[in-house]
Amino acid sequence: MFKDFREFAVRGNVLDLAVAVIIGGAFGKIVTSFVNDVLMPPIGLVLGKVDFSNLFVDLSGQSRATLAEAKTAGDATLNYGLFINTVIDFLLVAFAVFLLVRQVNKLKSKPVPAAVTTKECPYCLSLIPLKATRCASCTSAT
């Protein structure tokens, strides 16, 4: 069983998957930073100086100015601003992956059709080589 596991783990697919997970995690951090630090501040400014990370509903009935204050006080909150940020994160990552897969698919070579080496006998419908002058099955002239 250990031998089978070792063969499975050493195969290229598992190593490729491990590299993809590591790079994907790093890419996710970059996208999260882009959304939180670059994309959302201008959008919040256009919408009237709204900080999406501070959009929340305090379920305890208290009136807190920021999400940090509500969490410090131990209030139950519904953090829809953070959810919006996470959805935008996901959409950007999904779009980037879509573009990557699309480019990889374009780079793949299209299969070349095999050269035709046979033809069909018009009488018995068996396959005969292109250079044949008679059908091997029915001996008709082709």
Residue 8 sits in the same domain as residue 71 = yes
Average pLDDT over residues 36-64: 80
| Domain range for 62 | 2-108
Q: Kindly report, residue by residue over 26-38, the tens digit of the pLDDT.
A: 888 888 888 878 8
pLDDT in tens, 82-109: 888 888 888 888 888 888 888 888 887 7
**What letter represents residue 45's amino acid?**
L
Predicted structure pTM score: 0.55
Q: In the structure, what pLDDT confidence band is assigned to residue 43 with cuts at 50, 70 and 90?
A: confident
Domain containing 25 — which CATH number? 1.10.1200.120
Do 67 and 15 fall within a single domain? yes
Most confident of 19-23, 93-97, 118-122: 118-122
> What SS3 class is residue 141?
strand
91 lies in the same domain as 127: no
Q: Would you call 52 exposed, middle or buried from its count of C-beta atoms within 10 A (0-12, 13-18, 19+)?
A: buried
- pLDDT of 58 above 80: yes
Confidence band of 12 (pLDDT split at 50, 70, 90): low
In this structure, the answer to whether residues 54 and 73 fall within a common structural domain is: yes
Task: Give pLDDT, residue 5.
Answer: 75
Radius of gyration of the chain (CA): 32
Q: Are 88 and 35 in contact (CB under 8 A)?
A: yes
Q: Is the pLDDT of residue 110 over 80?
A: no
In terms of domains, do 26 and 91 share one? yes
- Cβ distance 93 to 27 under 8 Å? yes
Q: What is the mean pLDDT of the chain?
A: 82
Q: Domain count for the chain, please give it.
A: 2
3-state helix, strand, coil in the chain (%, to 5): 60, 10, 35
